[in-house]
Chain A
Amino acid sequence: MTSLPTTRISAYPSYVLNMLALAGICVSLLVAFFFQLALGEIPCPLCMLQRVGLMMVGLGFAMNIRFGPSAVHYAIIILSAITGAGVSLRQILLHIAPGDTGFGSAIFGYHMYTWGFIAFMSTIIFSAFMLMIDRKHMTGSNVVIQTALGTVLIGFFLILSLGNLASDVLTCGLAPCVGDPKTYIWQR
């Protein structure tokens, strides 16, 4: 029985770049959790959908790290980012009228949904460049993960995903989420 050839994907520049991109997604989700847990800003349905968009984008980066770069993984990133950007843009338009103070706190002058839109658009541009950089290495299989850091990073991303799942259950329960939640389910 012949074994499939393996490639050292840690040698590819894209491996490092995808790791950095996934780390960026983790930081974004951590900032969202900071605003929720430390400042008491419970996420609205659109905010939660943007977090899901970030998670789905992060999934594409995680797959590039775990299985090696692939056009399918970058398609997952781009489609997820377009979906997330759609939600961000919708929330921007909701608060674009003069006199509207926006929803939630601002970071460096921009609300989180504006940063979300910038992040999703940056992700699409990043993926377009990565598709050019990675074009010779796209296999999507027959690769082995070479660094423990990659496993740790994906594991941490999984913990953040589970945290968002728990957050949604604790905010909305099994009912549709209200537009501007003020309390968790045990406070009602």
Chain B
Amino acid sequence: MIILPTLIFTTLAVLMTLRGSRKLAVISWVFALVFMLGAMRYHMDDILQISL
């Protein structure tokens, strides 16, 4: 569920690229990137076994 929106928007962007809608493809990519950063924040929370 957390990763799903970024997958949907990326796939939509590829579809828009294939159909020739550049503006919609770029907008979809922006949404995909925002949701990707949200998913990264949610899933990248494990404690590392090393000290940074």
* A76 with B29: CB separation less than 8 A: yes
Contact across chains for B3 and A66 when beta carbons are under 8 A apart = no
Decide: A49 and B40 in contact? CB cutoff 8 A: yes
Q: How many A residues touch B, CB cutoff 8 Å?
A: 47
A56 engages B20 (CB within 8 Å): no
Within 8 A of A (CB), among B4-44: 4, 6-8, 10-11, 13-15, 17-18, 20, 22, 25-26, 29, 32-33, 36-37, 39-40, 42-44
Mask of A135-166 contacts with B, CB within 8 angstroms, 1/0: 00000110000000001001101100110110
> Given B1, B13, B46, B48, which contacts A59 in the complex, CB threshold below 8 Å?
B13
23 A–B pairs (Cβ distance < 8 Å), ordered by A: A48-B3, A56-B10, A59-B17, A62-B14, A66-B17, A66-B18, A67-B22, A76-B26, A83-B33, A87-B40, A93-B50, A94-B48, A96-B50, A100-B49, A140-B22, A154-B18, A158-B14, A164-B11, A165-B4, A172-B3, A176-B2, A177-B43, A179-B46
